[in-house]
A = this chain, B = another copy of it.
Amino acid sequence: APTTLRIAEIFGPTIQGEGALIGEPTVFVRAGGCDYRCSWCDSLHAVDSRYRDTWAPMATDEIWQEVTRLSGGQPLTVSLSGGNPAIQNFAPLIALGKEAGYRFACETQGSISQPWFAALDTLVLSPKPPSSGHRVDWQKFDHCLLAARGCDQIVLKIVIFDDCDYDWAKAVAHRYPDLPLYLQPGNPEVDPETPVDLTAATERLHWLIEKVTADRWFVPRVLPQLHVLVWGNKRGV
């Protein structure tokens, strides 16, 4: 039997809602499983082992078939997300897709490195700030950067919940001055059943813009989570 991957969901095409590829038509492949347990994780259904039996064991061919079906065979960007997609081996999927002209992006916290990072078009490293409850292992993080050499676009994305996260993001930016940096306000509303408070969401963005500009820290781009503004916390969009 071929190796299978644990897949929480495959959905799209929709637009990428965050970071460097914001607005880009994308099919998402969400891997099941994560080595982290962030306090404010908005993807628990792809993290918590309680949801484990909802993760489909899929062979690379099956995943690729579903991506092709959703995209109607029209090349677009495929985003590997999670959970932490770096737990599993996406090399064969990337190879298949690239052959057909698809682009591949991956978002991971940077705790596990994979040789296939180098085959990506975009690697988003999203180190988790103090409010997550985790502490970044920078040696592992640097391994991810090393593994990604050859990847066209490597960017940092940091979620900011509070002043402490903000100061931490500045220190991270200082550590990696050559990596483009994207900041986004944290979203404390993660219940998929509760409609998002649009005013509160835009106020959090406002808060972060004010902080950056008052500080005259003109390095990061500041962006919201568009999908939250458009669809709330609904899954599969």
Contacts and interface: CB of A to CB of B under 8 A. Distances in A.
A181 B77 CA distance: 15
Interface in A1-34: 12-15, 22-25
Copies in the complex: 2
Interface stretch (A114-122, A127-135, A165-173, A216-224): A216-224
A222 B71 CA distance: 17
Contacts of A25: 212-213, 217-218, 220-222
Interface residues of A, number: 35
Contacts of A72: 216
A90 to B, nearest CB: 21
Interface stretch (A53-61, A92-100, A141-149, A199-207): A199-207
A222 B23 CA distance: 5
Interface of A: 12-15, 22-25, 71-72, 74-77, 182, 198-199, 202, 205-206, 209, 212-213, 216-218, 220-224, 226, 229-231
